[in-house]
Amino acid sequence: MSMFRKPDPKTQLRQQQRVLKKTGRELERDRHAMDRQEKQLEAEIKKAAKRGDKQTAGVYAKQLVKLRQQKAKSYGLSSTITATGHQMQTMQSQAKMAGAMGSTAKAMASVNAQIKVEDIARTMQTFERETGKMDLAGEMMDDTLDSLLGGSDEEAEEDAVISQVLDEIGIEVTNKLSGVPVARNALPSAESKVGAETDDLEARLRRLHN
């Protein structure tokens, strides 16, 4: 059964990268050999030229041209191998990201499967309806208590506030008048005026209260 097992992508990628690196090293060794051969051909061309042997120099020159062409192809192949290695690494990274996205999508699908939107909507509607019932019941209880108690506490508090305001007004007016020099004959008229103003203010407050 293990013979037909699908190879692991990581293991397969490492094997391919080893093959590419090995091929690159072999091409580099070949170029070093071509460099040495190139120098030898150049030396032979110089010797033939010094001897005046143009035919021999021409033969060496043709070999040198072909050698340099082969060397250029070797450099191009090495660049292709390097680019292929980078591309394989990029593909592996993309495969990892795709796997992570797939796992995330499965997790999200599992969570969404557990969440039922219809049930949540019904729960929210029930909660809103029951909350409204509680608010209505509370208002009805407040109205019932107010009708039973007759609002006596509120009226007592209002009367206390009115009395306090009247007392403060009377004290303030009295203090202001005490600091003003007046004639002895004019004092009763001033007091009667203050009393009239106080009575008028009390009458207004009673009307507002009623």
Provide the pLDDT for residue 126: 86
Spatial distance between the Cα atoms of 56 and 53, rounded to a whole number of angstroms: 6
Return the DSSP state at 186.
T
Q: Tell me, what DSSP letter sits at residue 52?
A: T
pLDDT of residue 36: 92
User: Do residues 57 and 48 make contact, with C-beta atoms less than 8 angstroms apart?
Assistant: yes
C-alpha distances (whole Å) from 54 to each of 37, 48, 51, 60, 180 are 20, 7, 9, 10, 141
pLDDT at 114: 77
Q: What crossing angle do the helices spanning 187-209 and 152-178 adopt, rounded to 10°?
A: 160
Cα atoms in the Cβ-side hemisphere of radius 13 Å centred on 29: 6
**Cβ-based burial of 24 (10 A; exposed 0-12, middle 13-18, buried ≥19):** middle
Q: For every one of its 210 residues, what pLDDT tens digit does the chain have, with 9 covering 90 and above?
A: 445 566 676 777 778 888 888 888 888 999 999 999 999 988 988 888 888 888 888 888 899 999 999 999 989 988 888 888 888 888 878 878 888 888 888 888 887 777 777 877 888 888 888 888 888 877 777 777 666 655 556 566 666 666 676 666 665 555 555 554 544 444 444 455 555 656 666 666 566 555
pTM: 0.43
**205, 164 Cβ separation under 8 angstroms:** no
pLDDT of residue 65: 92
